[in-house]
Amino acid sequence: MKGGTTTIRGVLQHGERATGKGLYLIDSPGQEPKAVTALAATGAQIIMFATGIGAPQGFPFVPVIKVTANPRTAEHLSEHIDVLVNVFSDAPMEEHGKRLYSEMLAVASGHTTKAEA
């Protein structure tokens, strides 16, 4: 669901690097500390982590952008959530995508994520 309709190019094992462009999945546990470790081991430079009820962990070597579509989580865990994708607003889905892309570019340019702060 989180990958949309993009073709999956392959499934990587923990620590294995992608050999081309596109969407790859990683065969790793779903718990956040293990999942972000697996993403970092595959060479991720920035991690966007979608969370529903809130997961406050970051990662010491790779910035983790926390994203939620749950307004309650964004409010109660505002010190941990970087972006609220408010699907209940009138904004088209493309606007949410642009906002996430802008956040990723900002972090790539040195903006500090809440997990880093």
The 10s digit of each residue's pLDDT in 42-60 is: 999 999 988 888 777 788 8
Structure tokens at 24: 């790859």
Local structure of 101: helix, strand or coil? helix
Lowest mean pLDDT among 23-32, 39-48, 99-108: 23-32
In the structure, what pLDDT confidence band is assigned to residue 3 with cuts at 50, 70 and 90?
Answer: low
Percent of the chain with pLDDT over 70: 97
Mean pLDDT over 74-94 rounds to 87
Per-residue confidence (pLDDT) for residue 29, from 0 to 100: 85
Local structure of 9: helix, strand or coil? strand
Q: Which residues contact 21 (CB under 8 A, 6 or more apart)?
A: 9
